[in-house]
Structure 1
Amino acid sequence: MPEIEPVALADLTTLRVGGMPERMIEAQTRDELVAALRDVWASGEPWLVVGGGSNLLVGDDPFEGTVVLVRTSGIERLPSPREGHTRVRVEAGHDWDDLVEYATREGLSGIVAMSGIPGTVGAAPVQNIGAYGQEIVETLVEVELIDEATGEVSTVPAADLALGFRTSVLKNHYGSVAPRPAVVLSVTLELRDVGDEAFELSGAQLRQALGVAEGERVTLRWVRETVLATRARKGMVLDDTDPDTRSAGSFFQNAIVSASFARTLPDECPRWPISTTAAPLAAPDRVIPLDDYAGLYPVPVPSLPDVKVSAAWLIEHAGLRKGFHLPRSRAGLSTKHALALTNRGDASAGELAELARYIQSRVQSEFGLILQPEPVLVGVEL
């Protein structure tokens, strides 16, 4: 068992907070990871899996259990049954942005808009990560999982993961347990072969973010470099010299609300309809007794799609500008991006949680909705 001397979780998370665990295991290979998880689960002790630590807010108290560090790596290129496509199977501990760089270098399109996102490949389907209108659900074929309940390893198609906006059956949302407690061992993606040549960039949100006109042709390398520069301006690319990057990225999810609720928000609030490819539900058959029939039958009213609204806009227009912090607190909003809570210097998890609660209360008071945290919270209450 590759057990190592424990280090504080503050040294392993991008928010730089978290107490000392009782025990720590560093799994360098898939077999080590499987064995470590089975051992921890058999003991019944508390456990926490850590990859890049970029989507975690961990409490200040000691963690009374075992932390398993996922340090597996490797990319395997596979044939695809679809012409013009290639599949890649990637170990869970592989750095996500390293994978994007590999895909860019190899001329494989489908994940380049997610350049610069910190963390590991194994966390990507759990969160259904995305940026600029591109999400991993668009390219994910399958994942290899080890289930906590049985310790069994299985290959699960993407369709069985209930991938949605920053969610899946694998994610522990705040206040709830994942529908399928399991750990990702590897991820298989299917990417389009575009090579080094310029191609038409699909996705209106990505084109708008990069200033690319519809029909304009660009290269993968140009897209990656432009996305990285755009994210860096927002403090969303890790940089030890920049306190704005000591964050968990976007701390609150963009809110998903009904179309009717969205109409109560100011017209200036950015919003995007949530598209669905699901077929509309057919109206159920209804039998009306002849004596009750009055010659009229109510026409079903079609429901409008839900709407995604900008959490950053809601925060700023609740009076909390970039750089805001509570008095005497070492936690604050990023000076570049109102959606990122940052550690301005030796902040505690308690200070970050206090700021998050304050933001939630201000937005609820102003707009009538409660923003939900995007990171996984361990030993922290909002």
Structure 2
Amino acid sequence: MRLADLCTLRVGGEARRFLLSTLRDELIQAIAQADAAREPLLFLGGGSNLVPVDGEFPGLVLRDGREDVRVLTLQEFSELRAGWEQPSQGREPDTELHPDASRGIRDAAAVVAKAQQFAAATPSCVFLSVSGGLAWDRLVEFCVTQELSGLEALSGIPGVVGAAPVQNIGAYGGEVADCLLGVTAWDRQECRLVYLSAADLRFGYRDSLLKQSRLQVEANFGTPQFAPARPGTNPATGRWIVLEVDFALQRGGGTPVRYAQLAGALGVPMGTVVSAAQIRTAVLELRHSKGMVLDPDDHDTWSVGSFFTNPILPVEAAAALELPENAPRWEAALPGRAGEVGVKLSAAWLIEHSGITKGFALPGAGAGVSTKHVLALTNRGNATAVDIQALASHIIAAVQGAYGVPLVPEPVIL
């Protein structure tokens, strides 16, 4: 199986081994066997956040084929998670990555309490438990057709449900963290199923404990141990592999519009409560206009969406840049600094004003900047992974040279 056939960038070589399974036990067994054999593992979702290698992936590529959605009452949800309230067996969880990780791993009391609080504040609430392999937009479409609100601003985002919490996907004023209660995951270090509540996932802007564990995985291990990765290692898959995700949503009602561009598209003031169906329609139209909805006939959508995250800098560092008044900026929490506020800059603005235009391409390369949106790097039809990475490096250097701001790629680059 070629990774090019599994990823939205349509680049990448063969996988040495590939398995698609609709059985949770089979998925877990395949993960455990690969780890025990020290075989590189790529747990692949929708392939929409990955820049593969052009050569062979020297291990197992594993895909979750389950697509179940369970709609639950508060009592049903509480009973479903009651089994997680018993103390964990085996050795104590490693809390080096996050001092509160053990609390989420040992029990699910926090998530049940959060569900109860949500139900008290929102009498029309509904709880969902969703298999990780379901396409994300199919979940959003299902919710909107069932008049469940909370996820509609995330319409049209490619990928699968299990991958959504890893980078805390977000768009148009919403993030997956807004509605997520917790995840059931396989812990590769503890070799067991665990439950992690939203509080323990340490969500941030396009970040989570799950993502950080990917950046801290040793490439070759017997019993997996997660520590800062050595240079040159392959951070394909992190410590926790998400198998199911729990959400709390509202039936009926609507959602306040929290993004200026979306408010403009809807023709309403910011903060107006709009139905989930209206928001979904407007978001899909906006994403289509930017080439951010997958279309096999549109090479601008042969991408991973936004390739770079918006930089968040300390207030003093942002002020020292002396950016012009028209440069977009917003207050935002500083990553890794609880309670500290920084300044979020627009990666798109920085790219455009460093001389990179829509449609830009390096000479002779098959990759180019989208003709609709400078944040998307695209496969114009014959690109290689090397072409994509060369273009990304050129853009990073251009922004660094013009403004001294380092851009950080959003996708996993193997």
Normalised TM-score (structure 2): 0.79
Q: CA deviation at 1:202?
A: 4.0
Q: What are the within-5 Å matches in structure 2 for residues 1-382 of structure 1? A: 7-80=1-74, 81=116, 82=119, 83-171=123-211, 177=217, 181-194=239-252, 199=254, 201-205=256-260, 206-208=262-264, 210-214=266-270, 216-263=272-319, 264=321, 265-274=323-332, 305-378=341-414
Q: As a proportion of its length, which structure holds more helix? A: 2
Aligned match of 1:285: none
Aligned partners of 1:202 and 1:100: how far apart in 2? 17
Aligned partners of 1:26 and 1:215: how far apart in 2? 43
Aligned partners of 2:28 and 2:266: how far apart in 1? 41
**Paired AA for residue 349 in structure 2:** W
**Paired AA for residue 327 in structure 1:** P
Aligned length: 346
**Paired AA for residue 69 in structure 1:** R
Give the secondary-structure state (helix, strand or coil) at the position aligned to 1:261: helix
1:132–1:209 CA contact under 8 A, matched in 2 = no
2:8–2:48 CA contact under 8 A, matched in 1 = yes
1:174–1:376 CA contact under 8 A, matched in 2 = no
Aligned partners of 2:126 and 2:54: how far apart in 1? 44
Give the secondary-structure state (helix, strand or coil) at the position aligned to 1:97: helix
**Paired AA for residue 93 in structure 1:** G
Identity of aligned residues (%): 45
Q: CA deviation at 1:40?
A: 1.3
Change beyond 3 A, Cα 1:95–1:271: same
Unaligned runs of 5+ in 2: 75-115, 218-225, 228-237
Q: CA RMSD in A?
A: 2.2
Q: CA deviation at 1:236?
A: 0.1
Aligned partners of 1:174 and 1:210: how far apart in 2? 38
**Paired AA for residue 251 in structure 2:** D
Unaligned runs of 5+ in 1: 1-6, 282-302
Change beyond 3 A, Cα 1:200–1:239: closer
1:201–1:207 CA contact under 8 A, matched in 2 = no
Normalised TM-score (structure 1): 0.86
Higher radius of gyration, 1 or 2: 1
The superposition leaves residues 137-164 of structure 1 with CA deviations (integer Å, 9 ceiling, x where unpaired) of 1111000010111220011101111111
Aligned partners of 1:39 and 1:176: how far apart in 2? 21
2:149–2:255 CA contact under 8 A, matched in 1 = no
